[in-house]
A and B are shown apart, each in its own frame.
Chain A
Amino acid sequence: MNQRGLSFADVVGMDLAKRALLLLAVDPLLGGVVIPASVGSGKSTLARAFANILPDDTPFVELPVNATEDRLIGGLDLEVALSTGKRVIEKGLLARAHGGVLYVDSLNLLDAGVSSLLMDTLSRGAVVIEREGLSDIHPAAFMLVATYDQTDGEVSMELLDRIGVIVPFVAQNDAETRAEVVRRIVQKKRAEESGDENDLLRGLILAARQLLPNVIIYDEQLDALAQTALELGIEGNRVDVFAARAAIANAALDGRSDVQEQDLKLAAKLVLMPRATRLPEDDVPPEEPPEQQLPKEEPKNQAENSDSEEPPDDKPEKTPEELQELLMESIESELPKNILAMPFMQQRKAKAGKRSASENSKRGRYVRSQPGDLRNGKLALVPTLMAAAPWQKARKHARATDAKVVMTKDDIRVKRFRDKSGTLFVFIVDSSGSMALNRMRQAKGAVAQLLQNAYVHRDQVALIAFRGKKSELLLPPSQSVERAKRALDVLPTGGGTPLASALMLAYQTVIQVRSKGMKQATLVLLTDGRANTALDASQTDKQKIAKELQDLSAMIRAEAISSVVIDTQVNFVSRGEAEKLAAMLDGKYIYLPNARAEHIAAAVSA
């Protein structure tokens, strides 16, 4: 270590993340770098080391996960205001990061409001202050460096979309980054004599920044990037701009004035691949990503002879289609084994689930204050004082008092909290036919099991039974074990199977609860899936019933309500209807003819 502190090159591993950070340093308009990493992987060390390769006066601001909106945006400097009467705005964290690095550890744990603000600031490059009688714009163009532990939950897609570079989860040491590392080491040896590696990197970055505007990217290459983005089902057009920037920055970093295949590949890996929402159908990713070698036609030497000055001026020989194929190939070879672990893939599955925090005035994390009544809220002291401050002179004068502070009801600001809300489990129990009693017993046990943990997770349970002509909400969403048990005690059985009616009722129940802030919902269906009654109970036409189920399933999927179908068919010759239902709902299918309650509970909350 040298006197400047951490050396960037000394951070071991995370080569791809380091490369990503270098690209960001070269072109800050990439917006930021997101690094998924688990605890103890040295991610914050890396972020701090990054600050050391930037020019000396570059600000480095850390955004704590529990920051309130006030702290982010800034507000009235109370001290100055009261002592001098001047309206001075205290800069918020976002504005303080202007021209530098904003580091967020655990990006996925940011409160929804803070996350939206961050997103807004990234796209504006400024913080707009319109609060507490203040109106101003602070420039806030920064390089966002964010890390998060995937097991804690996902980052909002809107926010991710505005961040240029997303380091893939399995950072492979591919040839490119290896070559880079080797080059670094070789150069490092030389640099060490002068005593400072960070200086060397700083020099590289500065040189690349100067080269940046002159780097040529050809239409065919942009075309290939756009086609690849389309192929991967990436939403929006912002991605093209980021991909082009990343490719250009990579070329500049290697001292080249034109974009080459390796630049496109790196852009595909760092910008396109992490945003994929679908993969090419027929290509199964290989088990072990091969130790990727560069294609032979690639003039690899050029990357290393960054000093040589010949401006390569011939266009790429490949057509956009060929280039695109090449990019897809390289992406496929890089794919992590668990493709569902990719952020945009995963969130497509549960898009409504991510805003699972709801705002309230009682518990959770303090996010902001608003005018309110103390009878149903907790006092936010500082905002209240701020609200009262401007009136003091007038009030003291009017009331002829020398009380230090004259407060009125209007000054009161109460705290608003945001709270993680739990999941609503809707049990939908088929009480038609002979198996009804058995199913009910299972359901009862599972409900009881789930509710035992409900207090911790703030989960709720509802129960719908269906038989005969219609379905019935036996237990509205509740946390009470006792209520649930009572509701389950009396249950008529036998008759037709109005599955559609039950799904409709479940859907409505979930939508209602959502409007109260509980965002996540799981339907648990205990049935053999053999529906024989339509929504309109007088109709038993099979095709109509099937169509209804299909439409209802589509609605349920569209609302990102997840489902588990527990097949209770005991016959060995199962007709697979429950499985079909699970497929329609895009849900889990579990065959548990004689399931015990705890099995169901475990399967459902897994």
Chain B
Amino acid sequence: MPKASAARKKVTQKKITTSAPLATKKKDAVFPFTAIVGQDEMKLCLMLNVVDPRIGGVLVMGHRGTGKSTTVRALADVLPLIERAEGDIYNRTVKEVEEQTKQDGTSRKHSDIKHLTSEIVPVPVVDLPLGATEDRVCGTIDIEQALTKGAKSFEPGLLAKANRGFLYIDEVNLLDDHLVDILLDVAASGVNVVEREGISVKHPARFVLVGSGNPEEGELRPQLLDRFGLHARITTITDVKLRVEIVKRRRDFDAAPDEFLEKWKDEQTALRERITAAKKLAPRVELPEDMLSLIAELCMNLGIDGHRGELTVSRAAAAFAALHNREVVTLDDVKSVVNPALRHRLRRDPLETIDAGEKVERELQKILSAQYSEPVL
């Protein structure tokens, strides 16, 4: 649809140029991930999901004004690259396109199949804004095609763009219920199905769901909470030195974004390389039997239903090991991830006064001291 975007650009640009004084802030400059001060748990959780997307996403909940959305939006720049069929809106590999085309005889690309080439693109990070409507999330009829030619062609939505990447929802606890339902559905199946008046499309939509919000603004539906692999907590930074550093970096960035980005370029590259290497290593990381039983025992003692808890801890621990360039999961790896992997899976007892994370840690400590007969700290 080159025509469509050209038309759009024309209209928007014309009006932008007339407005002057605020336009100093560069629209496309994004604060670098590595320059973000503190909030290590959130950063770790995001990186673990890049290394192993099967971990199932991150929910970041906490105080307002603590850099939740800044951090998630900064992630894009340190993500590894993926291979996809050139120009494929669903970010599929050439192989996937071929397979789908074979299955689905009606696909328009059928004839093009021999000409498919690959291209290297960054892992997509797609932002789902609060006012999004269902048709843009799932995809709908291409309006322009329909209006001009009366043709019914499918225009993919955000779920398509997010395939093999990240789908980010800021203020996830304020999201409309019917959108939540759609997301839950698609997240569970990995497939988005759109059926409407002669349009019938089924496309892969496997993405890492990242949500953030302030719990004070509203509760998250339990089914959605359960969907997230990890749950990171974020609080106000109280170390004054760090706070001063935050303000200084922010001011530097706002004053001269390009210079600031240049200054952090090496760090960004280093992190991207580290994540890329970890992603490669992750499938080979081994989870020893004793660690596996430790994880199982922990989940059992905490009374966590189902097996999602065990799976998430195992995968996250392996990803953590890979991030530290190790091929065998150690006790430290497990300890580093149990909290975000389990704190949201405990049954809620209204009379419970201790924090869920603390409970997880206590239980772990109990098992360890029983096993090792000496306290392990």
> Chain A interface (Cβ within 8 Å of chain B)?
28-29, 54-55, 57-59, 69, 72-73, 76, 81-82, 85-89, 91, 98-100, 112-113, 116-117, 119-120, 123, 125-126, 128-136, 138-139, 141-143, 156-158, 161-162, 209, 213, 219, 222-223, 226-227, 229-230, 234-241, 244-245, 320, 351, 355, 370-371, 389-394, 396-397, 408, 410, 507, 548, 551-552, 554-555
CB of A133 within 8 A of CB of B141, answer yes
CB of A237 within 8 A of CB of B67, answer yes
Pairs A–B under 8 Å by Cβ, sample size 6:
A98-B22, A98-B23, A116-B171, A120-B129, A390-B147, A555-B351
Contact of B130 among A120, A138, A142 (CB under 8 A): A120
Q: Can you list, as one digit per residue, whether each of B71-111 has a CB less than 8 Å from chain A (1) or not (0)?
A: 00000000000000000000000000000000000000000
CB of B20 within 8 A of CB of A226, answer no
CB of A120 within 8 A of CB of B240, answer no
Q: Is B273 an interface residue (CB 8 A)?
A: no
CB of B197 within 8 A of CB of A410, answer yes
* Chain B minimum-CB-distance residue to A136: B8
CB of B20 within 8 A of CB of A552, answer no
> Chain B interface (Cβ within 8 Å of chain A)?
4, 7-8, 11-12, 15-16, 18-23, 25, 27, 63-67, 69, 127-137, 140-144, 146-152, 155, 157-158, 170-171, 174, 176, 178, 196-198, 214, 216-218, 236-238, 240-241, 243-244, 246-248, 250-251, 254-255, 350-351, 353
Contact of A130 among B129, B217, B254 (CB under 8 A): B129
Closest 8 CB pairs of A and B: A236-B65, A99-B19, A393-B150, A238-B65, A390-B146, A85-B147, A131-B133, A85-B148
CB of A69 within 8 A of CB of B131, answer yes
Measured CA separation A392–B141 after assembly (Å): 12
CB of B144 within 8 A of CB of A99, answer no
Given A28-B22, A86-B7, answer yes or no on A551-B141 (Cβ-Cβ < 8 Å): no
CB of B351 within 8 A of CB of A161, answer no
CB of A237 within 8 A of CB of B19, answer no
- Name the B residues within 8 Å of A223 (CB-CB): 240-241, 244
List 16 other contacts, CB 8 Å, given A116-B130, A133-B155, A237-B243: A57-B18, A57-B19, A85-B147, A113-B131, A120-B170, A132-B135, A133-B136, A139-B16, A219-B248, A222-B243, A236-B63, A351-B216, A370-B133, A389-B147, A390-B142, A392-B147
Contact of A226 among B4, B128, B240 (CB under 8 A): B240
CB of A87 within 8 A of CB of B136, answer no
Measured CA separation A131–B139 after assembly (Å): 10
CB of B143 within 8 A of CB of A390, answer yes
* Chain B minimum-CB-distance residue to A552: B351
CB of B251 within 8 A of CB of A99, answer no
- Name the A residues within 8 Å of B69 (CB-CB): 123
CB of B351 within 8 A of CB of A88, answer no
* Chain A minimum-CB-distance residue to B65: A236
Given A131-B132, A235-B236, answer yes or no on A141-B23 (Cβ-Cβ < 8 Å): yes
Measured CA separation A123–B30 after assembly (Å): 13
Given A116-B171, A130-B158, answer yes or no on A158-B217 (Cβ-Cβ < 8 Å): yes
* Chain B minimum-CB-distance residue to A56: B20
CB of A393 within 8 A of CB of B146, answer yes
Contact of A551 among B140, B144, B150, B351 (CB under 8 A): B351
- Name the B residues within 8 Å of A351 (CB-CB): 216
Measured CA separation A219–B246 after assembly (Å): 11
Measured CA separation A332–B132 after assembly (Å): 45
Given A54-B21, A135-B136, A222-B247, answer yes or no on A239-B65 (Cβ-Cβ < 8 Å): yes
- Name the B residues within 8 Å of A397 (CB-CB): 150
CB of B132 within 8 A of CB of A130, answer yes
* Chain A minimum-CB-distance residue to B243: A226
Contact of A87 among B7, B157, B240, B250 (CB under 8 A): B7
Measured CA separation A81–B148 after assembly (Å): 9
Contact of A133 among B7, B22, B143, B149 (CB under 8 A): B143
Contact of B244 among A125, A138, A219 (CB under 8 A): A219
Given A29-B254, A158-B217, A390-B143, answer yes or no on A58-B20 (Cβ-Cβ < 8 Å): yes
CB of A161 within 8 A of CB of B64, answer yes
Given A116-B174, A223-B240, answer yes or no on A554-B353 (Cβ-Cβ < 8 Å): yes
CB of B25 within 8 A of CB of A29, answer yes
* Chain A minimum-CB-distance residue to B127: A128
CB of A213 within 8 A of CB of B255, answer yes
CB of A57 within 8 A of CB of B20, answer yes
- Name the A residues within 8 Å of B127 (CB-CB): 128
- Name the A residues within 8 Å of B27 (CB-CB): 125-126, 139
Measured CA separation A81–B72 after assembly (Å): 36
- Name the B residues within 8 Å of A28 (CB-CB): 21-22
**Distance between B38 CB and nearest chain A CB, rounded to angstroms:** 9
CB of B147 within 8 A of CB of A130, answer no
- Name the A residues within 8 Å of B214 (CB-CB): 158
CB of A133 within 8 A of CB of B147, answer no
Measured CA separation A133–B4 after assembly (Å): 12
CB of A241 within 8 A of CB of B147, answer no
Measured CA separation A552–B349 after assembly (Å): 12
Given A126-B27, A240-B246, answer yes or no on A390-B141 (Cβ-Cβ < 8 Å): yes
**Distance between B41 CB and nearest chain A CB, rounded to angstroms:** 15
CB of B147 within 8 A of CB of A81, answer yes
- Name the A residues within 8 Å of B240 (CB-CB): 223, 226-227, 230, 320
CB of A131 within 8 A of CB of B246, answer no
- Name the A residues within 8 Å of B128 (CB-CB): 130
Given A69-B131, A128-B127, A410-B197, answer yes or no on A143-B22 (Cβ-Cβ < 8 Å): yes
Measured CA separation A405–B121 after assembly (Å): 43
CB of B7 within 8 A of CB of A237, answer no
- Name the B residues within 8 Å of A244 (CB-CB): 247, 251
Q: Which of A222, A237, A244 has the most CB of B within 10 A?
A: A237
**Distance between A451 CB and nearest chain B CB, rounded to angstroms:** 29
Measured CA separation A347–B335 after assembly (Å): 37
Measured CA separation A182–B28 after assembly (Å): 43
CB of A130 within 8 A of CB of B350, answer no
CB of A131 within 8 A of CB of B8, answer no
**Distance between B48 CB and nearest chain A CB, rounded to angstroms:** 24
- Name the A residues within 8 Å of B176 (CB-CB): 370
CB of B136 within 8 A of CB of A55, answer no
**Distance between B261 CB and nearest chain A CB, rounded to angstroms:** 17
Contact of A371 among B7, B130, B134 (CB under 8 A): B134
**Distance between A166 CB and nearest chain B CB, rounded to angstroms:** 14
Given A85-B144, A85-B147, A394-B151, answer yes or no on A157-B216 (Cβ-Cβ < 8 Å): yes
- Name the A residues within 8 Å of B247 (CB-CB): 222, 226, 240-241, 244
